[in-house]
Structure 1
Amino acid sequence: MATRWGIAGSGRICSDFVTAIKALAHDHRLVAVAARDLTDAKEFARKHGVERAYGSYQDLTTDPEIEVVYVGLINPQHYPVASMMVMAGKNVLCEKPLCLNVNQTTGLISLAKKNEVFLMEGVWTRFFPVYEELRKRIKSGEIGDVVQVLSSKGHPVEDEPRITQRSLGGGSTLDLGVYDVQFASWVMEAEKPIQIQAGGHLNYDCVDETTSTILVYSKGRVATLSSSIRCLLPNESIVVGTKGTIKVRVSAAFPEALESPSGKFVSLIPDYGRQFNYPNAQGLMYEASEVRRCLLAGERESPKMPLKESLLLAEIMEQITTQMGVRYDVEY
């Protein structure tokens, strides 16, 4: 039986998500979409072949056919909408960052456990085949002991209000830097840094536009991370060891290849001839497949993106934004 999806939101990322999983139509069914404006929801449903359209997110909670809800809204809406779904007994895949701060992240995770539902942060990068190969090569010892991680993510996107405005949960850390933070965490096997140092510059609305961060780990390991919404950074991730280096090519956000002393590994995202708003968005099918696998297995969280690591990422990013002087207007 196909996994039955509800979609919370009708924007570009929601469009890309449903377009991506259409390639796996036998595994996924688009039951309903909800938006704040019913007209938008109806247009989204018409365009993407979704069965029903609702004019409020609350309507998704009362649809008995919906098994799991994809929350693809702006950052400040992640916690209220995801928690609404969780309390209604719906499984949830929520876009990164899971929430705006540590308090919200802790609260949402607690709600999911209390209501015994599945919850996963949509860090889509985690589910690309390159990541499994990366883990395998590090574990094999071919680069020796890990000493340093270097990772950057930056694009000139200063014309995007959701990224530049504080009221919309903007900033380079929450939108782009999260990819670097999660990469370091993946390499360090979700170990908590013993020290975090961050600096950079804020934009006109006091969100971080260019950020450099050092995460200090045990055993002499360090991660150096950079993010920017002002310029194009190298957009690559590198793991340096005592015997060699692994370079993840293309982008830390949607990796298709890596190179290490044992050679190249390439796993291109399938091209089904569909159009997307964001580069390589067909790769969203990987995280959707993981959600389906978890639900069929009766798992309430993914071992590839466990909830305790989502909390760790929230803690690291809150430290970065706090040191930068960013203050989001949230009550919780």
Structure 2
Amino acid sequence: MDIVHVGVIPPYHLNACKLFINAKKNVLCEKSLAMNTKELKEILDSAKKNNVFLMEAVWTRFFQASVEIRNLLAQEYIGEVKMVRADYSLPLLHMSRSDQKDLSEGALLGLGIYCLQFISMVYKGEKPESIQARGVCLETGVDETVAVILKYSKNRMATFTCSAGVELHSEAIIIGTEGKIQVLSPMWCPTSIIVDRKETEYPIPERCLSLNFTYSTGKRYEVEEVRQCLLKGLKESPVTPHAYTLLLAEMGDEVRRQVEVVYSQDCQ
């Protein structure tokens, strides 16, 4: 066995990951890798101690459209980035566990992480100078809708909204001093971007079997990244290194603090 894919719901990621890591198994774990920064550090420390590969499965970063976005940013094609906006909303409240605090990761950890990772990718893992967040929570304490403003150095900004209560256009845009890059819906598994008013499509591989979700074949890009990392003997992916994962967790914790979302894992 080369690697274990942990796909249980996030509240059980800590125990599941440590079970396999302590058995000296490489791990690809679905997002969010942990419920908070404390749990994440425990998992990262365990992976380091056991000298195994560990990666958070934020598949967005491995789509061909995301690769092209990083190339354009590296070339400074749109000049200096001044503003980033991302939105991801999907009605999930009909799901049996969506309003149960002990079983749900809420709008932020379930949907907002895609927005956070996109902003983090654009700003190359830089930590924001300030975070302002507002949100609406269900009676059970689960966050339904969250809106966030992030301020970065050199007067650069980013904003995102995520909601599990409504369905909106889930798109993203990067605005620079010399142009912009627009990521069309679905931004969490991007297949089309607009640059210089020209749309370019990056179709995902065709499916040969019946799948539960429309874009499931896009997982191939993430799997290939893991394969290449293992062949090279790496313990983390250079595309989504542990430092990025830790930054996302830290930003998520601050947003939850301001929105007043507290999980049982925060009290342990």
The two structures have a TM-score, normalised by structure 1, of 0.78
The Cα offsets for residues 117-152 of structure 1, whole Å up to 9 and x where unpaired, read as 000000011110111100111222221111110100
- Aligned-pair CA distance for 1:321: 1.2
Runs of 5+ consecutive residues of structure 1 not aligned to the other structure? 1-65
Segments of structure 2 that go 5 or more residues without pairing to the other structure are: none
Correspondence for 1:306 among 241, 248, 265: 241
The CA distance in 2 between the partners of 1:111 and 1:302, in whole Å, is: 17
Q: Tell me the CA shift for residue 165 of structure 1.
A: 1.7
Which of structures 1 and 2 has the larger relative contact order (alpha carbons within 8 angstroms, sep 6+)?
2
- 1:117 has 2:52 as partner: yes
Per the alignment, in what secondary structure is the counterpart of residue 69 of structure 2? helix
SS of equivalent to 1:167: coil
Q: 1:262 Cα shift?
A: 7.6
The yes-or-no answer on 1:259 pairing with 2:187 is: no
What is the CA–CA distance in structure 2 between the aligned matches of 1:266 and 1:252, rounded to whole Å?
Answer: 13
Secondary structure of 1:219's aligned partner: helix
Residue 10 of structure 2 is aligned with which of 71, 75, 89?
Answer: 75
Aligned residue type for 1:198: A
Partner of 2:134: 199
Alpha-carbon distance in 1 for matches of 2:74, 2:225: 23
CA distance in 1, matches of 2:96, 2:244: 28
> What is the SS of the residue equivalent to 2:217?
helix
Kindly report which structure 2 residues correspond to 1:85-164, keeping only aligned pairs within 5 A, or say none.
Answer: 85-164=20-99
The aligned residue for residue 186 of structure 1 is 121
Please name the residue that 1:23 is paired with.
Answer: none
Q: Aligned partners of 1:277 and 1:204: how far apart in 2? A: 31
Q: Superposition pairs for residues 1-332 of structure 1, below 5 Å?
A: 66-261=1-196, 263-330=198-265, 332=268
2:207 maps to a residue whose letter is Y
- CA drift of 1:273 comes to 3.2
The corresponding residue for 1:58 is none
Alpha-carbon RMSD across the aligned residues, in angstroms, is 1.3
Letter in 1 for 2:38: N
SS in structure 2 of the partner of residue 214 of structure 1: strand
C-alpha distance in structure 2 between counterparts of 1:160 and 1:218, whole Å: 40
1:215 Cα deviation (Å)?
Answer: 1.1
**Letter of the aligned partner of 2:27 in structure 1?**
V
Give the letter aligned to residue 276 of structure 1: L
Give aligned pairs, total: 267
Asked if the contact 1:164–1:170 (Cα under 8 Å) also holds between the matched residues in 2, the reply is no
Report if aligned partners of 1:169, 1:328 keep a CA contact under 8 Å in 2.
no
1:159-202 CA-to-partner distances (Å, cap 9, x unmatched) read 12343221013310010000000000000000011101100100
> Partner of 2:102: helix, strand, or coil?
helix
The answer (yes or no) to whether the contact 2:35–2:105 under 8 Å persists in 1 is no
Indicate conservation of the 8 Å contact 1:143/1:240, yes or no: yes
| Secondary structure, counterpart of 2:214 in structure 1 | coil
Amino acid at match of 2:248: L
| Partners of 1:204 and 1:191 in 2: CA distance | 35
Give the drift of 1:261: 1.7
One-letter amino acid matched to 1:79: L
More deviation in 139-148 or 226-235? 139-148
Instruction: Look up the equivalent residue of 1:175 and give its one-letter code.
Output: G
Find the aligned partners of 1:292 and 1:194 in 2 and give their Cα distance: 36
Identity of aligned residues (%): 39
Report if aligned partners of 1:172, 1:227 keep a CA contact under 8 Å in 2. Answer: yes
Highest Rg: 1 or 2?
1
Given that 1:101 and 1:318 are in contact with CA atoms closer than 8 Å, whether structure 2 keeps it comes out as: yes
